[in-house]
Amino acid sequence: MSITVVPPTAAPQPPVTDRTAVGERLALPLFRSLAGSLAGHPYLKVVVDRAEDTWHLLDTAVHPFHVDYLATRVLGMAPAELDACLDAVNASVYMAPDRRFLLGVLSLHTDQDTAGRRRPFLVLETTEADTMDGPMLEEFYTFVRHRLDGRLPLLLKPANHGQEHALASVSDVRVPRILSHQLFGHRTRTPLNPGEATGRLRHFRTAEEYAAAAGTLGGSDILAMPCLPDDVPRVAGFINTATTTPLSHTNVLAAGWGIPNAIVRDLDRLIRAESLDGGWVRYRVTEDDISLVPIAPAAAPTAAPARHRPRIRLRTPLLDDLSARPLHRLRLADQNRYGTKAAHLGELHHVLNARAADLTAFHGKPRPPRPDLYRHLAARLGTTHPAPSGELRAAAADFVADTVGAPDGIALPFGLQHRFLRSSPALCEGIIRLKAALDDGAPETLEPLCLRLQQLVRTTALPDEVAGHILGALPTGPAAGRRLVVRSSANAEDLPGFSAAGVYTSVTSVHGADHLLDAVREVWASLLSPRSVRLRHQAGISLDDTYMGVIVQPYVPADLGGVLVTCNPTKRADFRNVCLNCTPGSPEAVVDGTALPLQYLYNTVEGGGRTVALGSSGRDLPAATRERLGDLALAGRLLQSHFSAPDVDRPLDIEWLMTDQGACHLVQIRPYAR
């Protein structure tokens, strides 16, 4: 028994009033009295009781979950009784063809008429895992439509690709509809990374304006522009004034740095209304809201607040090994010889080939009130043994191995770079000067020193021994002469608190021996770029401890490429969904921002997916390809159990490509900064 002590001065709290309405006609005043906020839009939850021919409009402040309400308030179940059979109740209301209840959400939006006047409209949708067929969706829409104020337009939004397919045979005159990407793909404001900052708003409308002022940006600035450059310095916050993706390099940086980031497409209007440009603001981004509030000059800090960051300590690099090694022979323990990327790809080979890893740990973690998600995983994998059995683990391993492949390639160790740097007195002297500049805190000398060192790396002749080991990575036999991709694999990346997304160089079109040697030196040189040196120094990573490995891979032509993260980056508590971005061709077009990708969310628990945005392509992928991407998303979730152990809730960031034959290859696996 526990006792809560209330201070004598505490005022008594008024009882919570439940304003839930049953059977009432819905107009805007009632809607607003019941609504909460979801993704910046007012919304309320709806329970239709087909047996009683009535509906319940839930007070969202009191009833955050449909099932809790209908079980306890309508069916008379005790909370403990519901918890004991939650999955069975969910199946009865979301999947049963003869279900009594239809559950959904009504959200309020606005558009403009031909005269430019704003007008409200409502959108009805089910939960993402709902399996309503076309006739049931039409029944749901019609029931709600007849109980609404006739002046309010109502559109049905399919909650997943399955519902989109089911509605194809239903007239859009009888059931007017709007797709997810049509509703949310062009939102005025979209949270990307939560956080809060107080700083000076610096707004640049063009890349030229930014370039002219980039040298004046500092840690107390909040940077706003249409497309943030990948080499953006560390500032207090980001604002994108044009549409982007949560999986861009700059948002990964924002997540790693713990700074707020959002899309605010009407920033010009806000600046004009509030005279914000160049002024101090308090900027806050949450999952459901974005605020940008001007503060008085007297309230602005005189200097950026100092942020204490503990020094990131790297594993001691092992420099004695000069041997290039096939990726499939590496394991995670080889990170201190060949770098993080190479070691992760080697581990992937092991997981796919040995099929001995337990890939079910994420589903074994309690998700209250469920003790685990094994039953859901068994249903997805088609096995009859939902317990944490050998059969379930084998089914998971087989599914991943059948869904994705690991790339071939050769890894070059740190020792080759170390031997190369030591071979040149000019390089050794330049590195000594760079260390001194970092120790002295002389930022004005940093950039020229780095640029000179980079040029020396590119032009210094390789010792014969080093060149021989590199050229040994060239394919022989039938594969000789193939196009190669040369990727970075440093020990100072993919670390807690330091992702280095987009910081180091990869060379994606390499042909022949001379070009390979040049490409390797280009990757080595990226370890000494002004930006990479500055970012590592800010994170407390010593230049003495930093080394670069290199991956040499045969180029694989791709019909589709992209990135997935095994979380919902804009809603961190969502343990169901995986976010996947893609565009025709190379994954680099997604992460570097040169193309707006197609964006998808895939539910890896109950199944199903939905299209969030069409990006630059303007049209969705075929249904068979989207289904294939759903398998890819589940494979990524299962791999998270191994690569994120023991903290299986730590998401992964995976770059992938799909060939014209539908084969999926994973080209990079790393922790996702969050």
* 3-state DSSP of 547-615: CEEEEEEECCCCCEEEEEECCCCCCCCCCCEEEEEEECCCCHHHHCCCCCCEEEEEECCCCCEEEEECH
In this model, does residue 594 exceed pLDDT 80?
no
Q: Say how far residue 601 (Cα) sits from the centre of its chain.
A: 10
- For residue 561, list its beta bridge partners: 583, 657
* DSSP H or E stretch at residue 89: helix 86-94
Give the Cα separation of 544 and 195 in Å (integer). 33
| 543: nearest Cα among 432, 445, 425, 452 | 432
Q: Are strands 221-225 and 237-240 parallel, antiparallel or unpaired?
A: parallel
Q: Cβ of 637: how many Cβ atoms within 10 Å?
A: 29
- Cα–Cα–Cα angle for 523, 526, 529, rounded to 5 degrees: 165
In tens, the pLDDT along 246-301 reads: 988 888 889 888 899 999 999 988 888 887 888 899 999 998 889 999 987 666 66
Instruction: Kindly write down the DSSP assignment for every residue of 308-339, as one continuous string.
Output: --PPPPPPPPP------EEGGG--GGGHHHH-
- Per-residue confidence (pLDDT) for residue 3, from 0 to 100: 30
Instruction: Kindly write down the DSSP assignment for every residue of 167-218, as one continuous string.
Output: HTTS-TTTS-B--HHHHHTT-SEEEEE-EEEEEEEEE-SSHHHHHHHGGG--
Domains of the chain, start order: 21-178 (no CATH), 189-299 (3.50.30.10), 354-409+557-671 (3.30.470.20), 413-553 (3.30.1490.20)
| 536: nearest Cα among 306, 336, 256 | 256
Angstrom distances, CA of residue 206 to CA of 224, 228, 240, 250, 335: 10, 10, 12, 17, 41
In tens, the pLDDT along 378-397 reads: 999 998 777 777 899 999 99
Average pLDDT value over all residues in the chain: 90
- Per-residue confidence (pLDDT) for residue 11, from 0 to 100: 47
- Cα–Cα–Cα angle for 191, 193, 199, rounded to 5 degrees: 95
In this model, does residue 304 exceed pLDDT 60?
no
In tens, the pLDDT along 234-244 reads: 899 999 999 88
* DSSP H or E stretch at residue 258: none
In this model, does residue 489 exceed pLDDT 70?
yes
Q: Rg of the chain over CA atoms, in angstroms?
A: 28
Select the highest-mean-pLDDT range: 355-369, 471-485, 593-607: 355-369
Sign of the dihedral through C-alpha 370, 374, 376, 379: negative
- Per-residue confidence (pLDDT) for residue 635, from 0 to 100: 98
Arithmetic mean of pLDDT, 543-552: 95
* DSSP H or E stretch at residue 16: none
Lowest-confidence segment of 431-445, 507-521, 619-633 by average pLDDT:
431-445
Provide the pLDDT confidence category of residue 150 given band limits of 50, 70 and 90.
very high
Cβ(670)–Cβ(499) under 8 Å?
Answer: yes
- Per-residue confidence (pLDDT) for residue 550, from 0 to 100: 97
- Cα–Cα–Cα angle for 409, 559, 622, rounded to 5 degrees: 140
Give the Cα separation of 661 and 16 in Å (integer). 59
Arithmetic mean of pLDDT, 482-507: 87
Length of the chain as a residue count: 674
Non-local CB neighbours of 345 within 8 Å, separated by 6+ positions: 327, 330, 406, 407, 409, 551, 666, 667, 668, 669
